[in-house]
A and B are shown apart, each in its own frame.
Chain A
């Protein structure tokens, strides 16, 4: 499902002395079935943007086109609920949303709110729990007896059970150990690759942007300053610094190799360790071949 912003502005507490403008005339497109990363400094409007995606906030100006629905400042609550059903939103620290007496009931909560009967909801919940790797032995336990990582998985399953077309993730791995982070990111990537879900990831982790996303939006001071490929955004280090962003580890390492005189292809940006390793290997190979040629002479 494609999401398009057309000149969208948003002001908190509009028409009061405490008004503050969070988004200024933002225009952007999130392509259907893309894995979009939204990055930007703290306070750049990322969270406001995600709340606009699923109608938790309505724009104060401009319009948002979600699939075939147009959301404007005048859109009614009922229409917004239709949009919300298609948008799964995983907030920061989503384990704070758990409240039911058992894991399975909590995951069934979302589907039931959107009109599913008990049986369908349970089926959807079981599928979602399986997807995030929670075994059926835990279904009847209280969600508050689980570990932090398991609670987060249950919370995410609660969103997946609604079978959204778009999955919005606001720093989903914050506060997890490296293994847990990796497992979660792999689950999201599987959803993107197999389930044909559009994934939107809000993050500060440039490594995640480089290794998972195929579309990047950079926010700064309430405006969208970049929209395009990850390789494009990471090609200009000065521009990144200007917007208070950093290079992913791989590219930072590559810069060091450059600084020490290793010549690598300048235009082909590696985004994964494998790609960089291949480039270095190819370079070393051609160097040794060059030396071999010299030796023969």
Chain B
């Protein structure tokens, strides 16, 4: 199952997008999302689509991978688009059946909603596919560092990076525990809702226990290596703002002005 999941995956590469500063990528992603929701006319969407397709091309990862990333969201997209199609009552009526009305406005809204979904998912997928999760947490720590006085920024970033590091490990562990319990006769895909929830207990408890043990071992190992908290630490992975980041920022600002102006 997890092999087909694109969300949150990182595909190693050395494209222009891969080499951009993760801080820029994070901020740009948020700005892009705002832009996508601000866009109202046809022209806006054409420009945004062209830009995002350009970014996908620059990322050196085939469009198919991005399209596959849409799959888990398909139901939500279809549901919303269908609602928009048949329950918009403004505009000229093209076709109607009882309370269902297909109008020109509805058609237009449906297409726009669809584009919004696709573009938002694409832009976030571009960021996650081209950025190592660990550098993303570095970027978050860096971006939030002005708030150090009121927030434990370092601690939150540390928890984030440890959590990210252990996601695959815990997934593997879950698979293993499921196999062992299946060998003892548990059936995860049978019975009614209550039976199925009960079948989760033999997975959940060992998983929690092993997570506790792992946390304990990790804490001991960190202390043994001299970890004392955020005060006075240096960094191994340094984030460097380079000329291409400045260039990309200028392009982004230009694009924003263009969209708002149109």
Decide yes or no whether B193 CB sits under 8 A from chain A.
no
* Bound-state Cα–Cα, A113 to B177, Å: 16
* Bound-state Cα–Cα, A94 to B181, Å: 10
Decide yes or no whether A54 CB sits under 8 A from chain B.
yes
Convert B197-228 into 0s and 1s, putting 1 for each residue whose CB lies closer than 8 angstroms to a CB of A: 00001100110011000000000000000000
19 sampled A-B residue pairs with Cβ under 8 A:
A16-B4, A18-B3, A51-B179, A56-B179, A84-B182, A84-B183, A84-B185, A88-B183, A89-B180, A96-B173, A97-B177, A97-B180, A97-B181, A97-B184, A99-B201, A99-B206, A114-B185, A158-B184, A159-B184
Contact A96 to B183, CB < 8 A, known contacts A16-B3, A16-B4, A18-B3: no
Which residues does chain A contribute within 8 Å of B180, judged by CB atoms?
Answer: 89, 91, 94, 96-97
Q: Quick check: A113 and B179 within 8 Å, CB to CB? A: no
Decide yes or no whether B244 CB sits under 8 A from chain A.
no
Contact A96 to B177, CB < 8 A, known contacts A16-B4, A109-B202, A144-B209: yes
* Bound-state Cα–Cα, A54 to B185, Å: 11
Q: Lowest 4 A-B CB distances belong to which pairs?
A: A113-B185, A99-B205, A89-B183, A97-B180
Q: Quick check: A81 and B187 within 8 Å, CB to CB? A: yes
Quick one: which of A13, A88, A91, A158 contacts B179, CB cutoff 8 A? A91
Which residues does chain A contribute within 8 Å of B210, judged by CB atoms?
Answer: 96
Convert A1-41 into 0s and 1s, putting 1 for each residue whose CB lies closer than 8 angstroms to a CB of B: 00000000000010010100000000000000000000000
Q: Which residues of A does B touch, CB under 8 Å?
A: 13, 16, 18, 51, 54, 56, 77, 81, 84-85, 87-89, 91, 94, 96-99, 109-110, 113-114, 144, 158-159, 162
Which residues does chain A contribute within 8 Å of B201, judged by CB atoms?
Answer: 99
Decide yes or no whether B176 CB sits under 8 A from chain A.
yes
Decide yes or no whether B242 CB sits under 8 A from chain A.
no
Which residues does chain B contribute within 8 Å of A16, judged by CB atoms?
Answer: 3-4
Tell me how far the C-beta of B168 lies from the nearest C-beta in chain A, rounded to whole angstroms: 14
CB nearest to A18 among chain B residues: B3
Which residues does chain B contribute within 8 Å of A98, judged by CB atoms?
Answer: 206
CB nearest to B65 among chain A residues: A17
Quick one: which of B185, B187, B190 contacts A110, CB cutoff 8 A? B185
Which residues does chain B contribute within 8 Å of A84, judged by CB atoms?
Answer: 182-183, 185
CB nearest to B201 among chain A residues: A99
Q: Quick check: A99 and B185 within 8 Å, CB to CB? A: no
* Bound-state Cα–Cα, A96 to B173, Å: 9
CB nearest to A92 among chain B residues: B176
* Bound-state Cα–Cα, A77 to B191, Å: 13
Which residues does chain B contribute within 8 Å of A94, judged by CB atoms?
Answer: 180
Convert B156-167 into 0s and 1s, putting 1 for each residue whose CB lies closer than 8 angstroms to a CB of A: 000000000000
Tell me how far the C-beta of A22 lies from the nearest C-beta in chain B, rounded to whole angstroms: 14
Which residues does chain A contribute within 8 Å of B3, judged by CB atoms?
Answer: 13, 16, 18
* Bound-state Cα–Cα, A13 to B185, Å: 24
Decide yes or no whether B186 CB sits under 8 A from chain A.
yes
Which residues does chain A contribute within 8 Å of B4, judged by CB atoms?
Answer: 16
Q: Quick check: B185 and A162 within 8 Å, CB to CB? A: yes
* Bound-state Cα–Cα, A98 to B201, Å: 11
* Bound-state Cα–Cα, A165 to B181, Å: 18
Which residues does chain A contribute within 8 Å of B182, judged by CB atoms?
Answer: 56, 84
Beyond A56-B179, A97-B181, A159-B183, 20 extra complex contacts between A and B, CB < 8 Å: A13-B3, A16-B4, A18-B3, A56-B183, A77-B187, A77-B190, A81-B187, A91-B176, A94-B180, A96-B177, A96-B180, A97-B206, A99-B206, A109-B184, A109-B202, A110-B184, A110-B185, A113-B185, A162-B184, A162-B185
